[in-house]
């Protein structure tokens, strides 16, 4: 009897394992904190992002008196022009080097599903909001429309801000970092963006990007095991 039962479950097991492998092959993470040391998963226009992300606390290295408070090693600091002791040295850069507020451009992320109730991120730099003549901000964009926007507070030091995205669940979105200002404080600082659930727990990006078109999460081994108890 056990052999008969197992022989009937085996095809289902093989099919489920095959589907799991397919899902794992397409599941991936997102360069949400720029710790790759480059702009993987992002597309730039203009020249503002040519020397981004920046490495380390460059505002402190140039004696600005406002530490960046970035996460990890790398972050977007559009005033800065220092890409670390390795890459920076190869490019002739030194700690404290800057590109200033002159360059402009935009940086657009890959598409992702909104599955959380909130999004949180570190932001600093200029306070030139979206809709002004020369914005300097970070936008949440859906179907080419800006749904939410945030700016810094005219300080190099970043602080964590949060968007309520609960009414946007299931929509496909992108993050756009905008630097269209060449005047004073004409640069944004940005780092470490996450989606979070209703309890404020950050949702891993590989889980976000594994969401299927129907809004369901990809099958997991934990879900499969219930069939084999």
Provide the domain count of the chain: 2
Domain match, 59 and 3 both: no
Domain match, 89 and 144 both: yes
Domain match, 164 and 174 both: yes
CA distance 191 to 175: 12
DSSP 116-156: SSEEEEEEEE--B-TTSSS-EEEEEEETTEEEEEE---SEE
Domain match, 84 and 98 both: yes
- The three-state secondary structure class of 20 is helix
Domain match, 165 and 204 both: yes
Domain match, 96 and 177 both: yes
The confidence score (pLDDT) of residue 140 equals 98
Domain residue limits at 14: 1-27+217-229
pLDDT digits (tens, 9 = 90+) for 39-87: 999 999 999 999 999 999 999 999 999 999 999 999 999 999 999 999 9
pLDDT digits (tens, 9 = 90+) for 101-127: 999 999 999 999 999 999 999 999 999
Burial of 162 from C-beta contacts in 10 A (0-12 / 13-18 / 19+): middle
Domain match, 70 and 99 both: yes
pTM, entire model: 0.82
- The three-state secondary structure class of 35 is coil
Domain match, 18 and 74 both: no
Q: What CATH number is attached to the domain comprising 60?
A: 2.60.120
Four-point Cα dihedral 7, 9, 13, 16, nearest 10 = 140
Domain match, 127 and 52 both: yes
For residue 15, what are the contacts with CB-CB under 8 A and spacing of at least 6? Answer: none
Domain match, 15 and 107 both: no
pLDDT digits (tens, 9 = 90+) for 174-223: 999 999 999 999 999 999 999 999 999 999 999 999 865 344 444 333 33
Domain match, 66 and 79 both: yes
Domain match, 146 and 222 both: no
């Amino acid at each position: 009897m056990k052999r008969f039962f197992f022989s009937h479950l085996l095809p289902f097991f093989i099919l489920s394992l095959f589907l799991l492998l397919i899902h794992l092959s397409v599941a991936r993470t997102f360069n949400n904190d720029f710790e790759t040391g480059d702009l993987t998963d992002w597309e730039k226009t203009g020249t503002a992002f040519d020397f981004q992300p920046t490495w380390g606390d460059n505002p402190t290295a140039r004696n600005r008196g406002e530490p960046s408070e970035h996460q990890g090693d790398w972050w977007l600091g559009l005033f800065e022009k220092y890409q670390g002791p390795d890459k920076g040295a190869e490019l002739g850069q030194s700690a404290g080097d800057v590109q200033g507020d002159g360059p402009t451009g935009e940086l657009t992320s890959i598409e992702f599903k909104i599955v959380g109730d909130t999004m949180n991120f570190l932001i600093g730099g200029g306070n030139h909001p979206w809709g002004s003549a020369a914005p300097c901000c970070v936008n949440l964009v859906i179907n080419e429309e800006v749904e939410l926007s945030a700016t810094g507070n005219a300080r190099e030091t970043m602080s964590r801000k949060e968007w309520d995205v609960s009414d946007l669940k299931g929509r496909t979105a992108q993050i756009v970092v905008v630097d269209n200002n060449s005047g004073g404080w004409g640069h944004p600082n940005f780092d470490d963006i996450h989606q979070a659930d209703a309890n404020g727990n950050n949702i891993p990006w590989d889980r976000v990007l594994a969401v299927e078109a129907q809004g369901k999460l990809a099958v997991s081994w934990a879900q499969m095991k219930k069939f084999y108890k």
